[in-house]
Structure 1
Amino acid sequence: MSEAGARMSAEIAEQPSVFDAVLARRAELAEVAALAAARRPRFALLAARGSSDHAALYAKYLIEVLLNLPAGLVSPSTTTLYGAEPDLEGVLHVTVSQSGGSPDLVEATKAARGRGALTIAVTNTPDSPLSAVAEHSVHIGAGEELAVAATKTYSATLLTLYLLVDAARGGSGESVAGLGELAAQTLADSADGVAAAVERYRSVERVVTTGRGYSSATAAEAALKLAETSYLGARSYSGADLLHGPVAAIDSSTGVVAVTSRGRGGEAMHDVLAAVRDRGADVLAVGSAAGDVPADHRIELPATAEEVAPILEILPLQRLALGLALARGGDPDQPRGLSKVTRTR
């Protein structure tokens, strides 16, 4: 029997080399992006579940900000359960799925293509049912992921989506050049900070994660990782939404993980965290702007373009989830009640 958390730990460590492999295929991704741009879609829809849903949220920000194109997240059940048949002529429909095997995503993608959408599947399983029904399929190329908790497939999906959107706007991928090296630096330099955070939070039962803009996706993914590996009561809120009510439930027994990278999203978190600290919460700030916001503990990361930051932000938070699971006596490679592929309809 392998050591507890060995698979998750190994796959977290693989991410720098995975990023290098994804970047080496930029030209291939740019071809798909060019096909999509040539169709001049009137708006974009993104369909996903679980960790891939958080990657889709990241893509939504990329599409709206970098392409100035309206984008929304699809509810597959409107098709699979309710039989809705909207007119999708001229729509870009992107389905994100690590496994490519969830029946609802396959059915929704097939239906969207039949109703006129340009469908693109982004998956780590190129021979999956999802790839078979989409007009175009993009392979994430993260290699087989054995741990139940998605780590390298999540970050590789973010990078793949960034390269697609960047190519669609005519970019050259300049902002992610050398990202594999930055990821290796991030994992090495954040190790002590993560270990300290594990000690701070190993006894808490409630954690709130928060971020704004692009980093909203990181906060959502961090909450999922903490919940599924450490069984913590973890909730994610946009920094803006946090002040609209949920802040009332925050007190000195709450751990708050704030994702704050340089840029407009990070700047908008300053007042949010000041209010949270006033309520006595223990605040861990993670990101390239961690030193600029009110916090009790900080994990500072290398600075990048704001739209690239989520690809690095999630790395120490994956390690935090791993460390907390082990510190609390669990095995994150075998979370209770979970399997690698979740089939929903």
Structure 2
Amino acid sequence: MSAPTKGRPGWIMSGEMAEQPAVLRRVLVEGGPAIRDTARRIAAHRPRFVLLSARGTSDHAALYAKYLIEAELGLPCGLTSMSTATASGVRPQLAGVLLITVSQSGGSPDLAAASRAAREAGAITLAVTNNPDSPVAEASEYHVDLLAGPEKALPATKTYTAELLALYLFVKGLRGESGTEAAPVPELAEGVLARDAEVRHLAGRYRFAERMVITSRGYGYPTAREAALKLMETSYIPALAYSGADLLHGPLAMVDNISPVIAIVTEGRGGAALQPVLDRLRGRGADLVVVGPPGQVAAAPLGFALPTTSVPEALQPVLEILPLQKLAYEVSLARGQDPDAPRALLKSA
């Protein structure tokens, strides 16, 4: 992945996207032992329920963790409503509950307040952040460090994939497993990020798009939501993310032959569940692009093939988001925007 000249639009975001393979290696090699130790200590508490707390991009990583925890551990898992603690002052009974707060900066006041309130209410509290000295980390009993280094671009990229991998290793650690199957992911990520020309070709289709729909099922659904956020915050295209099941319940009516649709097909059960949706989209003549395994891309008018054949379904989101980050970046530049400085936005959690 080639970086633009320093000072040119997008040079910070481009550089941080390119750092992702190195960050993923760091999470595996340097962070892995500490993550497994933290998981072991939390597993000893035998949590009965898991709550996840996050904002923005980190909220999509938390949604990914929800799928992981329910599928890998069989534990009920939900996303918190932080305002019940921070605005309404509600103090639920949280004994035996594991609260995981996911935050890039760890600096969001409402996340820190919700973590503190949960701990006071008896919860086991874990912060997953890129800053071990942050308020969220300090408010929590346990902490996982993302080791991603400073992130200066407003659109979060390297911290998001670090969150996904760290959460994967943590959940595997709760099962007493090492997560060694993740070892090939950094090298695969390098290969995906090197394919600039393919993404730039796709970006040309969306330069004048008035809206977009992004859909997936299972582990790919958080990827769809994160991709939609990246497109909206960098190029200002209204991008709507739907679970494939939800898309069929009404929103499909807005899809026609000029409505761009990106389908993220995770190789495995999620991709199989998305097949009826792909058939319906093709039947409506949708302007369809598929991001997924080579066989799915070959059957589509256009797409981006991912090297996921040997990657467990639960790990594929780490690779799926990479071309979509790059797509948001390229579309932003094509529309004359600077993805490093989206209007009206400040760096947050």
Q: TM-score, normalised by structure 2?
A: 0.95
Indicate the residue corresponding to 1:182 in structure 2.
Answer: 188
Counterpart pick for 2:319 among 284, 294, 312: 312
Does the 8 Å contact 1:273/1:295 carry over to 2? no
Identity of aligned residues (%): 53
- C-alpha distance in 1 between matches for 2:172 and 2:34: 13
Indicate the residue corresponding to 1:101 in structure 2.
Answer: 107
Does the 8 Å contact 1:258/1:286 carry over to 2? yes
Q: Which amino acid in 2 is paired with 1:14?
A: E
Q: Which amino acid in 2 is paired with 1:332?
A: P
SS at match of 1:150: coil
Counterpart pick for 1:15 among 16, 20, 23: 20
- C-alpha distance in 2 between matches for 1:16 and 1:154: 12
Counterpart pick for 1:78 among 59, 84, 88: 84
SS at match of 1:88: coil
Indicate the residue corresponding to 2:50 in structure 1.
Answer: 44
- C-alpha distance in 2 between matches for 1:195 and 1:310: 21
Gaps of 5+ in 1: none
Q: Which amino acid in 1 is paired with 2:140?
A: A
Q: TM-score, normalised by structure 1?
A: 0.96
Q: Which amino acid in 1 is paired with 2:82?
A: P
> Deviation at 1:295?
2.8
CA deviations 1:176-216 (Å, max 9, x no partner) are: 0121111101212x433212211111111111111111111
- C-alpha distance in 2 between matches for 1:197 and 1:315: 14
- C-alpha distance in 1 between matches for 2:231 and 2:327: 8
Alignment of 1:200-215 (within 5 A): 200-215=205-220
> Deviation at 1:294?
5.3
Q: Which amino acid in 2 is paired with 1:217?
A: P
How many equivalent pairs are there?
341
Indicate the residue corresponding to 2:119 in structure 1.
Answer: 113
- C-alpha distance in 2 between matches for 1:101 and 1:290: 43
> Deviation at 1:73?
0.6
Counterpart pick for 2:202 among 183, 191, 197: 197
> Deviation at 1:80?
1.1
Q: Which amino acid in 2 is paired with 1:339?
A: L
Does the 8 Å contact 2:127/2:140 carry over to 1? yes
Q: Quickly say closer, same or farther: Cα 1:186–1:152, change in 2 above 3 A.
A: same
Does the 8 Å contact 1:85/1:115 carry over to 2? yes
Counterpart pick for 1:35 among 41, 50, 58: 41
Counterpart pick for 1:132 among 115, 132, 138: 138
- C-alpha distance in 2 between matches for 1:104 and 1:201: 36
Alignment of 1:1-345 (within 5 A): 2-24=7-29, 25-188=31-194, 190-288=195-293, 291=296, 295-303=300-308, 304-341=311-348
CA deviations 1:278-327 (Å, max 9, x no partner) are: 22221111122662685321101111100000001000000000000000
Indicate the residue corresponding to 2:3 in structure 1.
Answer: none
- C-alpha distance in 1 between matches for 2:127 and 2:44: 18
- C-alpha distance in 2 between matches for 1:276 and 1:136: 45
Does the 8 Å contact 1:266/1:289 carry over to 2? no
- C-alpha distance in 2 between matches for 1:265 and 1:252: 25
- C-alpha distance in 2 between matches for 1:284 and 1:339: 31
CA deviations 1:106-148 (Å, max 9, x no partner) are: 1110000000000000001111111111001111110000100
Q: Which amino acid in 1 is paired with 2:253?
A: A
Q: Which amino acid in 2 is paired with 1:130?
A: V
SS at match of 2:314: coil
Deviates more, 1:10-19 or 1:179-188: 179-188
- C-alpha distance in 2 between matches for 1:201 and 1:271: 25
RMSD: 1.3
Q: Which amino acid in 2 is paired with 1:87?
A: Q
- C-alpha distance in 2 between matches for 1:226 and 1:33: 34
Gaps of 5+ in 2: 1-5
SS at match of 1:69: coil
Q: Which amino acid in 2 is paired with 1:205?
A: E
CA deviations 1:50-80 (Å, max 9, x no partner) are: 0000000000011000011111011111111
- C-alpha distance in 2 between matches for 1:155 and 1:200: 26
